[in-house]
Amino acid sequence: MLKTAIYGLGNWGQTLINSVHNKSDKIQIVQMVTRDPSKYTEFAQKTGIPISDDYEATLRNDAIEAVIIATGHSAHGKHVEQAASAGKHIFCEKPFTLTRESAVSATLACEKAGVKLAVAFNRRFQPALIKIREMIDEGELGTILHVEGSHSGHAGYDQRKGWRSTREENPAGVMCGKGVHVLDLMLMAAGHVKTLNASSETRVLDSERDDCTSLNFRFKSGATGNLSCIAVTANYWRFHVTGSEGWAEMRGERTLATCRLRKNPEITEFDHVDIEKAELEAFADLVQTDVEFPVPMKDVIHGVEILESTVRAAATGETIEFD
């Protein structure tokens, strides 16, 4: 059982706790840390997990083996490096950081300290996505030609206050909270990006955070791609891969549509899976048995690089090229 602390008790931090608390035989959250524990007294009483406002003291606790980072986006790099320096293994929420420089620095800090690092792209644990990955790996779709997707919803209407509403914490709108999930899957399917064009603007809300963001890619593999991330619409999730022998499309969280060349489309419905529990237990396996985590850090760092470049591409209209 991996003894773990969590830093950050907002809605998502609580979701992570609830996914494994008294439900997992691989990972146990034994300490909660937040800047203002008085806001979460009821939650602490409900879970029975101790709560503190002292992150540094938590890191000095030898009984704690790992830390879950669920703080504001811009703080991730600092909090990861602090945990690494204390010898704690780290599970960090996405986006890993907001700049490539900070992503590389945090990764190197973990490597230097000899601690494990995983970043929370939970869509990789969806059964429909696992099936798409198998189809790609086994060549069932042929040469990957194009990827596209959208992760959109009403976050712009719901998050008008707090750090999630600011441009500083959310450059390129809800790409940080939603679109990066689709981007991660595109990197999995088509490899790393060669060129990027982007648009990101506020069209509906009177807000400093963009509510409409779109990206167009050419990948080093030769594939093309496009991604949309709208913060002011009904919830919508889609990830599509087109290959020379067929296509596969994830619609929502549980539906997979596939079609082989010259065949009729097929629809498969998967059972619900707690993907937060799945990713946290995969992190525990990484730490305790060295089982590979399904999100490579090279993809994570490249994803941060694309996120950072999206801001520049949208502001200037230029095509961004990657080495």
Domain around 225: 123-321
Tens-place pLDDT, residues 167-185: 678 888 889 889 999 999 9
Provide the CATH number for the domain around residue 115: 3.40.50.720
- Is residue 156 pLDDT above 90, yes or no? no
Span 22-78, pLDDT tens digits: 999 999 999 999 999 999 999 999 999 999 999 999 999 999 999 999 999 999 999
* Statement to judge: residues 129 and 111 lie in one domain: no
Query: How many domains, in total, are found in the chain?
Result: 2
Domain end point (choices 92, 120, 148)? 120
Kindly state whether residues 158 and 247 are assigned to the same domain.
yes
pTM value is: 0.95
Region 139-146: mean pLDDT is: 98
DSSP β-bridge partners for residue 28: 3
| Final residue of a structural domain among 100, 120, 140 | 120
**HEC string of the chain?**
CEEEEEECCCHHHHHHHHHHCCCCCCEEEEEEECCCHHHHHHHHHHHCCCEECCHHHHHCCCCCCEEEECCCHHHHHHHHHHHHHCCCEEEEECCCCCCHHHHHHHHHHHHHHCCCEEEECHHHHCHHHHHHHHHHHCCCCCCEEEEEEEEECCHHHHCCCCHHHCCCCCCCHHHCCCHHHHHHHHHHHHCCEEEEEEEEECCCCCCCCCCEEEEEEEECCCCEEEEEEECCCCCEEEEEEEECCEEEEEECCCEEEEEECCCCCEEEECCCCCHHHHHHHHHHHHHHHCCCCCCCHHHHHHHHHHHHHHHHHHHHCCCEECC
pLDDT band at 165 (very low <50, low <70, confident <90, very high): low
Are residue 160 and residue 96 in the same domain, yes or no? no
Q: Which of 99, 120, 141 is the last residue of a domain?
A: 120
- In terms of domains, do 72 and 208 share one? no
Average pLDDT estimate for 99-123: 98
CATH for 183 = 3.30.360.10
**265 or 171: which leads in pLDDT:** 265
Confidence band for 120, pLDDT divided at 50, 70 and 90:
very high
Task: Indicate whether 275 and 200 sit together in one domain.
Answer: yes
Same domain, 174 and 264: yes
Same domain, 16 and 43: yes
Average pLDDT, stretch 120-147?
Answer: 97
Q: Averaged over 117-142, what is the pLDDT?
A: 97
What pLDDT is attached to residue 308? Answer: 96
Same domain, 133 and 114: no
* Pair 37, 19: CB distance under 8 Å: no
Same domain, 103 and 236: no
Is 136 found in the same domain as 107? no
Residues 11, 112 within the same domain: yes
Q: Does the structure show a pLDDT above 80 at 214?
A: yes
Residues 298 and 248 in one domain: yes
